[in-house]
A and B are shown apart, each in its own frame.
Chain A
Amino acid sequence: MTATDTRAASAPAPARGATPIARILNVVRLHVANPVPTLVLPWAITFAIFALNLAIWLMVARAAGGVENLEEDAFQYNGGISWIVVFMMVVAIQAMSLTFRFALGFSVTRRDYYLGSALFFVLLSLLYSTGLTVIGGIERATDGWGLGAAFFAPFGLYEEPMLTVWFVYLAAMLLFFFLGAAVATVWMRWRAYGLYVFFLGLAVVVVASGWIITATDSWPAVGEFFVSTSPVAIAAWTLPVTLVCAAVGFALLRRATSRS
């Protein structure tokens, strides 16, 4: 062992990336090496959905003979932006399935790879939630793009302060990124059969929950919870779920291989 150590010391300066932090940051760099799927596509989709909505609003306003002829909140019940939040799951699945085997082939440990990917997802969540909140701020400042519309902070968030909008976005993005990470690791470990079992299990859980709520006559209580609980509190409730997803992803990836 001693001889190996001296040899390592005399080898040409192994300076770069030796620390754990640097190793993890290098995984982040690997994810950004091709920025299209993670940094370009989600924005493109967001703006495409927004542009389509804008076109529809203008069409409706024109048909009504002006915005003033419409109800004040006509353009505020809009779920378009939730697509982009859900799309983050796809982004996470893609990012991991694209780079994992390459990283493994380049002598990256699974631990470093997962931590680097997790850091990347947190950074993306911050970027997107901040970006959407800023655009939401512009939306409010321009009186809903001059149409009284609410796309980036629609019903539920319309009356909330910008900080709340930001936090809800952040929590939702984190949830879907790590849900995606968990799904991606299921795919890496067991491929298609893993996903069948995973989604079948998920469906069972959802239906079973419905049964339990129905059997105990709890639907009013559930409705009451969502009405009486603030968006911030609901968003905060997703954080433990996000953490569980993150832990599941880590546990599954630790035994994933480069095969198949």
Chain B
Amino acid sequence: MTTVVEAEGLTKRFGKVTALDNVSFSLEEGAIHGLLGRNGAGKTTLMNLLTAQDFASDGAVRIFGASPVENATALRRVCFIKESQVYPDDFKGKHVLRSAPWFFDNWDAEFAQRLVAAFDVPLDRKMKKLSRGQRSAIGVIVGLASRAELTFLDEPYAGLDAVARRRFYDLLLEDYAAHPRTIVLSTHLIDEAADLLQRVVVIDQGRVVIDADADELRGSATTLVGRASDVDAFAAGRDVIDRTTMGGIASVTMTGLSDEDRRAASAAGLEAASVSLQELIVNRTGGRAGLDPSAQEDAA
């Protein structure tokens, strides 16, 4: 396994606002990574720094082992698709697709055509006149057909409907299987994308709060539901990250349960359910152990 992305003590300040605060992590080659977090958590800022579109205030970035800043050799292996991408005035979809192969060496024009049909985007209309979803679709087409060794997709399907999103996941997986590469997908539709992700980096308020294997993460938390007294007895002294009570019934989410613990819980009359990636991340970023339910809603 080779490391393709490394961040070390990465910090980005905009005036008095610290958008990224001492972020360190690394991503291995050949996987679909999830970069998750709430709006404004610093995901886009992070990707801007990783692709040298912006400059770090402090710390270091390495892609393919070198700094990406003004590094044409490294950047040519990178494709970064973001919702905020600006297109030249009067540029139509066809202009975008025509110019993409000038900048992406692995561009597959045939695949691009297939994607155009799959997402049904009008190529003869100005980018400015397209709907948000249609613009996103063009971004997705460029992101997939460029087959860059390192592809960043920042909220790639903003404005796309459920059908188009499903299509995107299918095409992404299919193409990834045929042409393995490193893909970093940032999204807040965590449940939808969860099955795709092999590794998950969660940032919250500019800090990395989770950096773990997706499977490990999924197994890491369990929700137990039962009579409040039973639940409380079992939960005492354990690592509880969320707790709700309704009538006499309580539900707690806790981490670090072994199989043995689960059997014990079951014997105590508690019902165990695994926690989805989304719930887990909501708990870890907005929920703050359920102290602030309104923040939790926002995050979802």
A interface with B by C-beta (< 8 Å): 1, 3-4, 7-8, 11-18, 20, 23, 26, 29-30, 33-34, 36, 98-99, 101-112, 254-255, 257-259
> Does A7 lie within 8 Å of B80, measured CB to CB?
no
Q: Does B48 count as interface, using CB distance less than 8 angstroms?
A: yes
> Does A258 lie within 8 Å of B105, measured CB to CB?
no
Closest 7 CB pairs of A and B: A14-B105, A26-B102, A101-B86, A98-B88, A106-B103, A107-B75, A258-B53
What's the count of A-B pairs with C-beta under 8 Å?
A: 107
Chain B's closest residue to A105 (CB) is: B85
> Which one of A12, A16, A255 contacts B147 once the chains associate, using CB atoms below 8 Å?
A12
> Does A255 lie within 8 Å of B85, measured CB to CB?
no
Instruction: Please indicate the chain A residues that have their CB under 8 angstroms from the CB of B64 in the complex.
Output: 1, 4
B interface with A by C-beta (< 8 Å): 2, 4, 29, 48, 51-55, 64-65, 70-72, 75-80, 82, 85-91, 95, 98-106, 147-149, 179
> Does B48 lie within 8 Å of A30, measured CB to CB?
no
> Does A258 lie within 8 Å of B48, measured CB to CB?
yes
> Does B101 lie within 8 Å of A16, measured CB to CB?
yes
> Does A257 lie within 8 Å of B65, measured CB to CB?
no
> Does A109 lie within 8 Å of B70, measured CB to CB?
yes
> Can you list 26 A-B pairs with a CB-CB distance of less than 8 A?
A1-B2, A1-B65, A3-B2, A3-B29, A4-B64, A4-B65, A12-B106, A15-B105, A26-B103, A29-B99, A29-B102, A30-B102, A33-B98, A34-B95, A102-B85, A104-B53, A105-B80, A107-B75, A107-B148, A108-B103, A109-B70, A109-B75, A255-B55, A257-B48, A259-B48, A259-B54
> Does B88 lie within 8 Å of A99, measured CB to CB?
yes
> Which one of B101, B104, B149 contacts A7 once the chains associate, using CB atoms below 8 Å?
B149
Chain A's closest residue to B1 (CB) is: A3
Q: How far apart are B37's CB and chain A's nearest CB, in angstroms?
A: 19
> Does A8 lie within 8 Å of B149, measured CB to CB?
yes
> Does B99 lie within 8 Å of A30, measured CB to CB?
yes
Q: A4-B2, A34-B88 are in contact. Are A107 and B103 (CB under 8 A)?
A: yes
Instruction: Please indicate the chain A residues that have their CB under 8 angstroms from the CB of B4 in the complex.
Output: 4
Chain B's closest residue to A20 (CB) is: B72
Instruction: Please indicate the chain A residues that have their CB under 8 angstroms from the CB of B85 in the complex.
Output: 101-102, 105
> Does B105 lie within 8 Å of A257, measured CB to CB?
no
Known: A13-B105, A109-B72. 10 other contacts (CB 8 A): A3-B2, A7-B2, A23-B72, A33-B88, A34-B88, A101-B85, A101-B86, A109-B52, A112-B72, A257-B48
Give Cα A101 to B149, complex, Å.
22
Chain B's closest residue to A25 (CB) is: B102
Q: A8-B77, A257-B53, A259-B54 are in contact. Are A34 and B103 (CB under 8 A)?
A: no
Q: How far apart are B206's CB and chain A's nearest CB, in angstroms?
A: 16
Instruction: Please indicate the chain A residues that have their CB under 8 angstroms from the CB of B179 in the complex.
Output: 12
